[in-house]
A and B are shown apart, each in its own frame.
Chain A
Amino acid sequence: MFGLFNKSKQSEEVVPEWYAELQESQERWFSFLEKLEAKMEEFATAAIPELKQLLEEDDDLYKRTFHKVYSGVNGQLNNIREKARDTYEEKIISVYYHYNSKISVLSKHHNLVSDFRNNCSDRHNAFENKYDYWRKQIDKTKERDLEIEYQKILSEFETIKDKFKCTQCGGNLTIDKIFLIETYVSCPFCQTQNTFTPSTIGRNLQNIARELAEQRTAHLKEEFENEVDKERDLYHEHHTLSLSTIHESNKSVLNEIQIKMEDLEKQRQFAIQNAPKLRQIYLRAMYDEWNKITPDLKEHNEKMYLNQLKY
């Protein structure tokens, strides 16, 4: 009836004409991304040492010149990424939709169309991974050893601690801690209220305190993040094992796999329970460090800590 099932076999086996166009698109797409990747790599490898040098040389308090160049570099990298994304939409996805609507899903050749899209999208993902990699490398140029800056602040404090004399009576004044804002220091002899203005370096302590505390407790954060990753790894291992049971009929092997799976699940459940605990340990340690660096901000920091625990 209607000859629906009498299609000649020959027409199914011959590669259709339009396939050449798909192949060409795919090849062009692959070589285009290769070029973009090379461009990205070249740009990033040139930019990274420049950025590092700039961070060292930038004498602005907030390293603003560095940050301007840093955003410029990121912008350029992003342009390359967007170019890839736009081309993907324009040259791959639209071609795919065009043929997808023309060729029936029942056709033997339909898989050529979906393979085309899968190959191209896998290649695009590989490109995106490379982008992420370079982006992270560029992010790393921002890291600097804050301990050095902290030591500078501490030694500056040591030198000014006993330096001042009361402006009224000349009696010695002692600054008893690192102040972050202007404050009254009363003279122990004549009770006059002197106004102490901290130096720019001293004030900057509050800007670096959190990052310094994070640097000091980075190992705890890593422990927590590893526990989170472990849960996913165990899940995938469990899943692979469960798939392996599908075609297995040997009972003793099945039993063995079952035992292994149960063990993995136990470890996974432990990781799920343990991760929030490790997070709390990290946060507590980080805030303790922070409070040690700037004790005056403790009350405020503790509120933030309690807030952060909720999420």
Chain B
Amino acid sequence: MEEKKVNSFLNRLKENAQKQSNYGGETENTDAQMKLKDCPNCGAGRAKQDGVTHCAYCGFEFLSVKLTDGMYIKKEDNSL
């Protein structure tokens, strides 16, 4: 009798845990990807030496912040 009680409690606990939706939604497993963003204004590509904040051809603003030195992005990545 007692054992039954314990098991039914555990089963209910498990059921409820599985039913409950997670805060922040379900996680999605995505694979690694490689993408490219061309300038949406003139269609030009973005080259390393031109920086990543503005389009080298039409001046379109990709990022409105001034970049500082970080782990991967450096000051030099600001467009002139």
Contact = CB atoms under 8 A, between A and B. Distances in A.
The judgment on whether A and B are partners is yes
Interface of A: 39, 42-43, 46-47, 50, 54, 60-62, 64-65, 68-69, 72-73, 76, 156, 160, 163-165, 167-168, 173, 175, 179, 181, 183-186, 190-202, 296
Given A64-B22, A68-B20, A184-B72, A192 B46 contact: yes
A56 to B, nearest CB: 14
A76 B48 CA distance: 58
Nearest to A47: B10
A179 B37 CA distance: 19
A184 B35 contact: no
A195 B46 CA distance: 11
A186 B48 CA distance: 6
B29 A61 contact: yes
Given A42-B3, A62-B27, A194 B35 contact: yes
Contacts of A72: 13, 16-17
Contacts of A197: 30, 32-35
A167 B37 CA distance: 9
A200 B17 contact: no
Contacts of A186: 47-48
Interface residues of B, number: 35
B14 A296 contact: no
Contacts of B80: none
Given A160-B32, A192-B36, A202-B32, 5 more contacts: A50-B14, A76-B9, A184-B72, A197-B35, A199-B30
State the majority secondary structure of interface residues on B. Answer: mixed
Contacts of A61: 27, 29
B2 A42 contact: yes
Contacts of A73: 10, 13
B32 A196 contact: yes
7 nearest A-B residue pairs (beta carbon): A167-B36, A68-B17, A186-B48, A61-B27, A191-B47, A164-B34, A199-B32
B34 A193 contact: no
Given A69-B17, A167-B34, A190 B47 contact: yes
A168 B10 contact: no
B71 interface: yes
A195 B48 contact: no
B71 A193 contact: no
Contacts of A175: 32
Contacts of B64: none
A50 B9 CA distance: 12
26 contacts: A42-B2, A46-B6, A46-B10, A50-B10, A68-B16, A72-B13, A72-B16, A72-B17, A73-B13, A163-B32, A184-B48, A184-B77, A185-B34, A186-B47, A186-B48, A190-B45, A192-B45, A192-B46, A192-B47, A193-B52, A195-B34, A196-B32, A197-B32, A197-B33, A198-B32, A199-B31
